[in-house]
Amino acid sequence: MTRPLLTPELASRLGRLDLVARLVVEGFLTGLHRSPYHGFSVEFAEYRQSIPGESTTHLDWRLYARTDRHYQKVFAEETNLRATLLVDCSASMAFTSDPARATKLAYARLLAASLAYLLLRQNDAVGLVTFDERPLAMVPARSMRRQLFPLLRTLEAARPGGGTRLGPVLHGVAERVLRRGLVILFSDLLDDPDEILSGLKHFRHRGHEVIVFQVLDPRERDLGFRREVELVDLERPERAVRVEPALAAAEYRRKFDAWRERLRRECRRQLVDLVEMSTETPIEMALHAYLSKRRRLY
């Protein structure tokens, strides 16, 4: 029997995080939208009799002409956030440098489950797409509490698959998510930066707010192995190279930092929130740090 993705112990710890989330703004992470009370759409709900001296902005003059009475239009504004979670299940997400540490995919699944749990507690709508070279599974966004179950089932079923084609996948999802909302991507971003940035820009062009949780193993950041290792491309296993870290680490870190800085710079330019995550950091600590930062910014 497999261990459930969202255990009671983790749910209990996330319950405390919910208090932090509420301080961001009423609609969790809608600090991105400054005020949760400026919803994505405003719909007519009902009429009410006008009060003397009240603004005539929403007065229905046609109804007044028929009834000789002043009635105001009352609008129901949608204030709930609609979030779409995108989880990268490509083969590179299977990597861990320590068997005792979670793989990048396991960490991303747990991070996505935790955010879905918090968002649904705030009555926000949450949907999910898992993908590798193409979309693998999709759960339409809903705000019901029982939405957590199909989300968790889909995340628990997610396994590392084929190669990575982030650009085409992001463009495809951007075309399908029609209603403006929040898009949260969980990926190591190990793909062509131009393709990634083009896909993220597509979401921004359509009015979505975008958060990218870049999940990396600590050894991918520093090549800090203690002895010679063989590095294998998980998406193309025939590609392998033996490396002596003591000789290669400095040049590796230089190139890695240049790649990371480019992603940071371009994401800032596109107003995409890029959040770097390490698989050695406990989920609740990583989320607490992020939510605390959001609280300070908004």
The reported pLDDT for the residue numbered 27 is 37
**Integer CA distances (angstroms), 225 to 163, 218, 219, 229, 248, in order:** 25, 10, 7, 7, 11
Whether 1 is covered by a domain: the verdict is no
User: Can you tell me the distance from the alpha carbon of 158 to that of 156, in angstroms, rounded to the nearest whole number?
Assistant: 6
**Percent of the chain clearing pLDDT 90 (strictly above):** 37
* Helix/strand/coil (H/E/C) assignment for every residue in 91-105: HHHHCCCCCCCCCHH
Report the predicted TM-score, pTM, of the whole model to 2 decimal places: 0.73
Same domain, 142 and 256: yes
Total number of residues shown for the chain: 298
The reported pLDDT for the residue numbered 252 is 78
Same domain, 62 and 140: no
Same domain, 193 and 182: yes
User: Would you state the structure tokens that stand for residue 264, as one six-digit string?
Assistant: 């940071």
Instruction: Decide: 226 and 201 in contact? Cβ < 8 Å.
Output: no
Q: What is the mean pLDDT of residues 31-44?
A: 40
Same domain, 64 and 177: no
Please name the residues in contact with 229: beta carbons below 8 A apart, sequence gap of 6 or more.
242, 243, 245
Highest mean pLDDT among 64-68, 71-75, 94-98, 233-237: 94-98
Whether 58 is covered by a domain: the verdict is yes
More confident residue, 117 or 136: 136
Q: What is the mean pLDDT of residues 250-278?
A: 91
Instruction: Decide: 179 and 248 in contact? Cβ < 8 Å.
Output: no
pLDDT for 80 beyond 70 = no
Q: What is the mean pLDDT of residues 179-200?
A: 94
Q: DSSP per residue over 212-245, as a string?
A: EEEEE-HHHHH---SS-EEEE-TTSTT-EEEE-H
Number of domains in the chain: 2
Q: What is the mean pLDDT of residues 19-25?
A: 37
Same domain, 168 and 255: yes
Q: What are the pLDDT digits (tens) for 201-242?
A: 999 999 999 999 999 999 888 776 676 666 666 566 666 667
Q: Which domain holds residue 100?
A: 8-33+79-297
